[in-house]
A and B are shown apart, each in its own frame.
Chain A
Amino acid sequence: MILELRDVYRTHGTGAAAVHALRGVALGVRPGELVAVMGPSGSGKSTLLNLAGGLDRPTQGGVYVEGKLLGELSKRQLAALRRRSVGYVFQDLNLLPSLTAAENVALPLELDGMGVRKARRLAVSALDEVGLADLGPRFPDDMSGGQQQRVAIARALVGDRRLVLADEPTGALDSQTGEAVLRLLRARVDAGAAGVLVTHEARHAGWADRVVFLRDGVVVDTSGPLAQAEELLEPVP
């Protein structure tokens, strides 16, 4: 299990003003598994993702990444784990405009103390993986929205990230480009990562192995695991 949430509660505020963002959520994600979390605004799906990535702490319950209980890690250990094990793709790409695509992708590795040359080499191969092998020297402002999104994905996947967290990763992309982004995410998960995809679009959640429905901070239903696809091709009696 790469990610595990055990009976997680997250409450903002106290007393009468308390907002219960998550109430007793349990979720496990294995290597090679992509889990989509769907729910309306305010259902707790972004809170869930922030907890999974160590960007927020649960009020109660435990979040484990690769077997480590995040609450027991020091700030430094947590920061290192976030840089090394977790990749994030957010709707807001957060690409630095003054750095080239390759520099943006290499940045987390360099921050982690990796040598520049090695970090660049890994960045180039991550860009190659998302189909942007030739655009490494280009600046984000000189790229299309779809290309920028792919750079953000390359940055999330660079190095050996075992957990990929995506929050509406297709943003405002058109349906073809959005599909390409999901294919990439799917491919990375098929190669052994664990993925969590937060989305309100069912068509995107369709790429997941399991879909978790959140309502008011509670998991109300789960769809999956899947039947074998071949069964769909059987003739109808």
Chain B
Amino acid sequence: MSIRHGLLALLERGPMYGYQLRAAFEESTGTTWPLNIGQVYTTLSRLERDGLVRPLPENDGGQRPYEITDPGRSELAQWFATPISRTDRPRDELAIKLALALTTPGVDVRAVVQSQRTATMRALQEYTRLKSRETGTPDLPWRLVLDAMIFQAEAEIRWLDHCEASLMRYPPPPPKTTPAPAPDPEHSEVTHS
């Protein structure tokens, strides 16, 4: 996701300056996604360049609030209306790591799977603990973000279980020590994030 659309959504509530935007962003993502103020200002200046927000006069405290423009509103509406494509998300480092573990000499793939599963399980326990502390009326945005992390961790553990079962069923041959021929460059690009 883009911080860009996050900030547009926040400005749709009303004009805000940088520090307010940062606080509101973190609050609405349940503090799971900390932003630094530099990211906020860089993003605001790009939004301004693209005509999606516009600066207002400085207030008495010397802060400059921004407001969303009409093109900004249609950009935001477009974002909410468009499903997020899986190919837009960063590549899954864990899947790449396991694939490499299979083909790298001297790596115990099952140990890699097990240690990842334990780590992910621990994260899942921690998210669940945060959730269990909530009493009374749920804070819905926070709950939603937390549940997303819980379900993602669960999916990862299920996938790791599946990998383990596959490894038992089809034990991998010992990896070759000579490199394979150079692959098609189009598919060899490595994630930059």
User: Distance (Å) between the CB of A236 and the closest chain B CB?
Assistant: 5
By a CB distance below 8 angstroms, the chain A residues around B133 are 229
Chain B interface helix/strand/loop/mixed:
helix
Residue of B124, B125, B128, B153 ringed by the most chain A CB atoms within 10 A: B125
User: Distance (Å) between the CB of A140 and the closest chain B CB?
Assistant: 29
A181 to B130, CA, bound (A): 17
Q: Which of B115, B130, B154 contacts A203 (CB 8 A)?
A: B154
* A207 & B132 in contact (Cβ 8 Å cutoff): yes
Mask of A195-226 contacts with B, CB within 8 angstroms, 1/0 = 00000011101111101010000001111101
- Interface size for A (C-beta < 8 A) is 26
Chain A interface helix/strand/loop/mixed:
mixed
* A229 & B130 in contact (Cβ 8 Å cutoff): yes
* A203 & B129 in contact (Cβ 8 Å cutoff): no
Q: Which of B122, B129, B150 contacts A223 (CB 8 A)?
A: B122
By a CB distance below 8 angstroms, the chain B residues around A16 are none
* A229 & B126 in contact (Cβ 8 Å cutoff): yes
* B154 & A183 in contact (Cβ 8 Å cutoff): no
Report if A227 contacts B (CB, 8 A): yes
Report if B41 contacts A (CB, 8 A): no
By a CB distance below 8 angstroms, the chain A residues around B124 are 202-203, 205-206
* B118 & A206 in contact (Cβ 8 Å cutoff): no
* A40 & B114 in contact (Cβ 8 Å cutoff): no
Q: Which of B125, B151, B158, B165 contacts A226 (CB 8 A)?
A: B125
Offer 14 A-B interface pairs, CB within 8 angstroms, sorted by A: A183-B132, A206-B125, A206-B127, A206-B153, A206-B154, A207-B125, A207-B132, A211-B118, A213-B114, A222-B118, A224-B122, A226-B126, A229-B126, A236-B34
